[in-house]
Chain A
């Protein structure tokens, strides 16, 4: 149980285009999902908290117009990188909150984004 999937696992896009990454909780409902960014051999940096049916909460320094987050259902959150540039190339990881009383996040396998 508690499986989180991400799609795609790897994407290459051209500079200036947009790319959408999906995060799904497969066997549970997730009111809250989180999006992280990770550079090689570095830690996970929280980008935003996504709550079903409401606007995402972005961490300081994260451009909300560049990283659009939508949490339209209890099993799906999407991250759209708009007008991508090479510096947006990174590993993006989502996690889903296990819910009240669970006190744990379940992580997706991550998406490698390369912007050329």
Chain B
């Protein structure tokens, strides 16, 4: 079974600064996908960024980028130029790829509450 661990229950950052959220995972699968989701106060889950495990290049989406260290099973999220609208709960998630034992299922970490201060 896969496990996802987010060791930072809460983080805070000043507007316009950079913050990094940590995530580690454990799996015996070789083909998988990793995601960061944002859940603002509305509680709608919003996909922030995704990473295919077979890709060595770190994914980037505008102000959001990841540091994917496959050997270390680490998948951190960096938010640059933080904005007030980034205030939310952030979840790291793991999905097994084709042929995996839990095909298509998402396993979530505990979440990190991020507060951006003006």
Contacts and interface: CB of A to CB of B under 8 A. Distances in A.
Chain A at the B interface: SS class = strand
Contact of A43 (B33, B35, B43, B108): B108
A105 B46 CA distance: 10
Range of interface residues on B (Cβ < 8 Å): 20 to 34
A93 B50 CA distance: 20
Interface residues of A, number: 20
B104 A97 contact: yes
Contact of B108 (A44, A91, A103, A109): A44
Interface in A100-116: 100, 103-105, 107, 109-110
Interface of B: 33, 35, 42-45, 47, 50, 52, 89, 91, 95, 97-98, 104-111, 113
Given A41-B113, A42-B111, A104-B47, 14 more contacts: A32-B104, A34-B105, A43-B111, A44-B45, A46-B106, A46-B107, A93-B43, A95-B45, A103-B52, A103-B95, A103-B97, A104-B50, A107-B44, A107-B45
